[in-house]
Amino acid sequence: MTARERIAGNVANYVDERTGAAKWMKKNLTKVFPDHWSFLLGEIALYSFIILLLSGTFLTFWFDPSQREVVYDGNYQPLAGLKMSAAYASTLHISFEVRGGLLMRQIHHWAALIFMAAIVVHLMRVYFTGAFRKPREFNWIIGVGLLTLGIVEGFLGYSLPDDLLSGTGIRIAEAIIQALPVVGSYIAFFAFGGAFPGEAFIPRIYTVHVLLLPGAFLALITVHLMLVWYQKHTQYPGPGRTEKNVVGYPLLPVYMAKAGGFFFIVFGVTAFLGAVASINPIWLYGPYTPGQISAGSQPDWYMGWLDGLVRMSPPIETHAFGHTISWNILIPGLIVPGILFTGMALYPFIESWITGDKREHHLLDRPRNAPNRTALGVMSLTFMLVALINGGNDIIATTFHLTINQIMWFSRISIFVLPPLAFVITKRLCLSLQRADRELVLHGRETGRLVMMPHGEFVEVHEPISAEKAWLLTQHEQQPALALEEHDASGVRRPKALKNKLRARMSKAHAVAVPKATAEDLKEIEHH
Amino acid sequence: MSNEIEAIKDPGLPAHVHRRTDTDPKAAKQAERQVAILFLLSALGTVLLIGSYIFIPQDLFIFLPILGNTNAHQFFLGLGMAASLFFIGMGAIHWAKTLMPDEEVVIQRHEFRSPEEDREEFVKAAKDGAAAAGLGRRSLIKRTLGLALGLAGLSPIILLRDLGPLPGDELSKTSWKAGTRLVTDPGDRPIRPEDLEVGAVAQTLPAIPAGAHRPLSDIGKDAVLLIRLRPEEFNLDAERLSWTHEGIIAFSKICSHMGCAVALYEQQTKHLLCPCHQSTFDVTRAAKVIFGPAARPLPQLAITVDSEGYLVAKQPFTEPVGPSFWERSS
């Protein structure tokens, strides 16, 4: 036994005698994690969060979250002598006088953008592969919660510097609050400590941004990861992989080295972006004042779709009985996002209701094998994309020499037409891909070699695919649609018949598939 | 399902293929050296970071291709930091991929559902517990407890009451009164009609005593835009026309949609455009909405001149300015 082994043994013994951890550690240090690039997306989100905590802490040492009016006397000459809030002045101080301050600000902002992007792409991976199915519905809901909190946290974060651009964003948020029926103006006055902008909002959202929401994030992320750990990771289908096993690398040492290494890579890339790519140059915008604005006011990308919806909304307000309801704000700003996010959170339950499938699933779906789900996902993404494009309509108009009106009308029509179109096209694509899979299994792969038959006919030689590949293309199960009778055995109409009818129709749509190739089919072909 | 019987068979996990580093000690040695080089690059990155922090002045700018004029301090500091982190990661992953065991391991899952007896015992324990507490029988306790908890939940809401004052009529009024002078923003200079040429735009605020503090929340309601047209270009009813003065018309600058500053004026078309959501207002028709999500025109401020010939408000705004709210009556 070397000295090093002896020390390791002593430490393990010391810890175990006080915590009884050996049993747990033994089991978990050899835990197996499946390997796939798409499993790294959630990791990127996690690591960006850690980067955000570290860089954010650095920024708090100099940032002064106060709307007290000061006169700027720092290094940045174009703003010398201007009145501004202490929040804005201290952000300028971080950018120009604190060494590494600008770098940290840019790392923090880039990390926030990467955090949100990673969450969204991770969510797409989970959705399109069906990883949200039983037993992982809780984790899906926590994920939707993290996405929602991320949007709020990001918005509050870029509002803190109190520059002209972000102040305009706060003004819009205030207008949304103010538009709430009955309680709107009260909540707005409570939130802002009086009339907009007041002097209370920045200090308040600072507490929310650095304490309340990060705390909520930590708690939710902890539960999210503990559930992943406890439920074991899903895996892609393939030879030797079943619903009952996990194939991958043990935590120690391979997975730990890879995951730990990946953290440093994400941090390194973020630092590189912070070094070379300017982001949110607040000194160009100037301090916030409600009477001024800069053209091309854009929120960060994860808010862009919301702004796009507000922009394309028709000008509808109701004035009745001495009261005003702003549908042009409520519908795009609250109602539509509310429906989208609630629908997203409930999707696992909706799908399991449609399919009647209450079993556990640990093998992921190939998106083509769940055409309805895949089409619904692409449909939602198309909706978001049209909204996002409209959120940048002014920039697009000036870049491509179009008029705002053209883009606005394009979006207003597209938001209704394109998503259903995307659904139909995606579903057909999925079915075509299934057909191609079937062809491949039954007739093998095209070799590109042409052979002349004795009677003069040319044929292309097909080579049978490997057993592994054939398995991958046929391992999925094809569930028949739910058989829901409108009438029971004695001919009596069942209660909730309408609900059943809807369920039966959706179940039928969900079960549409090209029959997968079977061993029987293969035998039949061999006989020919 | 019948499919199960005739399905194509799972060939099982493919046999493990050894890497070159597993079989060739030379390749393993080479991989070890590569990992070491990556870690050394990280160390160099940290040296660059420390060097930049100490030796590169903060106001030194250098010209770089693509990036243009770049702050050297920030640039090299960031590059050093990026390298010091990135290469640790690359080294660790290269190490894992080439030298750590790459044989896939299979472990079994187990169902999350507890064994039937555990489930039954759990339900029984819960039922017994509830029965022992007697919640079902003692409905008085149940109801009063519900009341107490519900009321206790109110206290945080009550305690937040002092976050701000009640809105009162704050949202409906501005600082503009009959006779208030319009002054330039910035500059606080009073304006005569002849200061504005036809086609000109001016951003104004109500005059305040010299040295007085003007809170941002006042600017958020009081900001007014002056635009001068030729009087014959207006397409207004008699009352609104009487609110203009020699072709000068005044509107609230705060958008009636979401409160952004409506600052883009197109001289050719005489349209005002809000940069936030592109609501477009026609100046010649009392800021009627001609495009975009805004549902109401910008409120117009009636103006005239005082005895000294300076522009003043003829009367306060006749409607609330800014975005809509529940209590707004029109």
- Out of A196, A271, A478, name the one closest to residue B85 (CB): A271
**Residue A401 region, left (φ>0) first, then alpha (ψ -120 to 50), else beta?**
left
- B158: closest chain A residue by CA: A190
Tell me the chain A residues in contact with residue B163 when contact means C-beta distances shorter than 8 Å: 190-191, 193, 200
Over the stretch A213-229, which tens digit does the pLDDT of each residue have?
A: 999 999 999 999 999 99
Average pLDDT, chain A: 92
Over the stretch B185-243, which tens digit does the pLDDT of each residue have?
A: 888 899 999 999 998 999 999 999 988 889 999 999 999 999 999 999 999 999 999 99
Confidence band for A500, pLDDT divided at 50, 70 and 90: confident
CA distance A280 to chain B (A): 15
Please check the confidence at residue A30 and state whether its pLDDT lies above 90.
no
Instruction: Determine, for residues A254 and B79 on separate chains, whether the beta-carbon distance falls below 8 Å.
Output: no
CA distance B205 to chain A (A): 9
What DSSP line would sit under A166-201, residue for residue?
Answer: HHHHHHHHHHHHHTSTTTHHHHHHHHHTSSSSTTTH
Cβ contacts below 8 Å, chain A against chain B, sum to 334
Contact B245, B305 (CB under 8 A): yes
| CA pair distance B51, B83, nearest whole angstrom | 14
E strand or H helix at B96, and its extent? helix B72-98
The ipTM, to two decimals, is: 0.91
Instruction: Determine, for residues B296 and A317 on separate chains, whether the beta-carbon distance falls below 8 Å.
Output: yes
- Out of A175, A394, A518, name the one closest to residue B258 (CB): A175
- B66: closest chain A residue by CA: A276
| % of chain A exceeding 90 in pLDDT | 73
Over the stretch B287-322, which tens digit does the pLDDT of each residue have?
A: 999 999 999 999 999 999 999 999 999 999 999 999
pLDDT attached to residue B141: 87
pLDDT attached to residue A295: 79
- A196: closest chain B residue by CA: B217
| % of chain A exceeding 70 in pLDDT | 98
- B65: closest chain A residue by CA: A276
Lowest mean pLDDT among A171-185, A427-441, B109-123: B109-123
Instruction: Determine, for residues A293 and B275 on separate chains, whether the beta-carbon distance falls below 8 Å.
Output: yes
SS3 A463: strand
- Out of A185, A249, A325, name the one closest to residue B167 (CB): A185
pLDDT attached to residue A405: 87
Please check the confidence at residue A45 and state whether its pLDDT lies above 90.
yes
Contact B86, A265 (CB under 8 A): yes
Instruction: Determine, for residues A319 and B258 on separate chains, whether the beta-carbon distance falls below 8 Å.
Output: no
| CA pair distance B262, B252, nearest whole angstrom | 9
Instruction: Determine, for residues A240 and B10 on separate chains, whether the beta-carbon distance falls below 8 Å.
Output: yes
Domain ranges of chain B: 20-98, 171-313
Does domain B171-313 fall under CATH 2.70.98.10? My reply is: no
Confidence band for B3, pLDDT divided at 50, 70 and 90: very low
Q: Is A259 on the interface with B (CB under 8 A)?
A: no
pLDDT attached to residue A528: 62
In chain A, residues 35-94 whose CB comes closer than 8 Å to chain B = 75
**Residue A194 region, left (φ>0) first, then alpha (ψ -120 to 50), else beta?**
left
Tell me the chain A residues in contact with residue B292 when contact means C-beta distances shorter than 8 Å: 311, 315, 408
- pTM of the predicted structure, to 2 decimals: 0.93
CA distance B26 to chain A (A): 22
Instruction: Determine, for residues B295 and A243 on separate chains, whether the beta-carbon distance falls below 8 Å.
Output: no
Instruction: Determine, for residues A189 and B165 on separate chains, whether the beta-carbon distance falls below 8 Å.
Output: yes
Mutate to test the interface with B, among A103, A232, A330, A526 (most CBs of B within 10 A): A103
More confident residue, A497 or B207: B207
Over the stretch B105-157, which tens digit does the pLDDT of each residue have?
A: 898 988 888 888 999 999 999 988 888 887 778 888 889 999 999 999 898 88
Token pair in block for residue A146: 């993290």
Instruction: Determine, for residues B275 and A517 on separate chains, whether the beta-carbon distance falls below 8 Å.
Output: no
| CA pair distance B90, A50, nearest whole angstrom | 19
- Out of B92, B109, B171, name the one closest to residue A185 (CB): B171
pLDDT attached to residue B110: 84
Instruction: Determine, for residues B277 and A261 on separate chains, whether the beta-carbon distance falls below 8 Å.
Output: no
- Out of A171, A181, A253, name the one closest to residue B260 (CB): A171
- B323: closest chain A residue by CA: A175
Mutate to test the interface with B, among A30, A171, A331 (most CBs of B within 10 A): A171
- A233: closest chain B residue by CA: B109
| CA pair distance A82, B181, nearest whole angstrom | 25
pLDDT attached to residue A518: 85
Domain ranges of chain A: 32-329
CA distance A390 to chain B (A): 10
Sign, CA torsion A392/A192/A286/B252: positive
pLDDT attached to residue B138: 82
Tell me the chain B residues in contact with residue A70 when contact means C-beta distances shorter than 8 Å: none
Contact A434, A514 (CB under 8 A): yes
pLDDT attached to residue A66: 95
Please check the confidence at residue B2 and state whether its pLDDT lies above 50.
no
Instruction: Determine, for residues B107 and A32 on separate chains, whether the beta-carbon distance falls below 8 Å.
Output: yes
Over the stretch B227-278, which tens digit does the pLDDT of each residue have?
A: 999 999 999 999 999 999 999 999 999 999 999 999 899 989 999 999 999 9
Token pair in block for residue B49: 């970071």
Superfamily (CATH) of domain A32-329: Cytochrome Bc1 Complex; Chain C (1.20.810.10)
- Out of A181, A311, A329, name the one closest to residue B278 (CB): A311
Tell me A486's DSSP state: S
Token pair in block for residue A393: 């309509």
Instruction: Determine, for residues A291 and B185 on separate chains, whether the beta-carbon distance falls below 8 Å.
Output: yes
User: B103 exposed, middle or buried (CB, 10 Å; 0-12, 13-18, 19+)?
Assistant: exposed
pLDDT attached to residue A1: 66
Instruction: Determine, for residues A268 and B89 on separate chains, whether the beta-carbon distance falls below 8 Å.
Output: yes
Please check the confidence at residue A486 and state whether its pLDDT lies above 80.
no
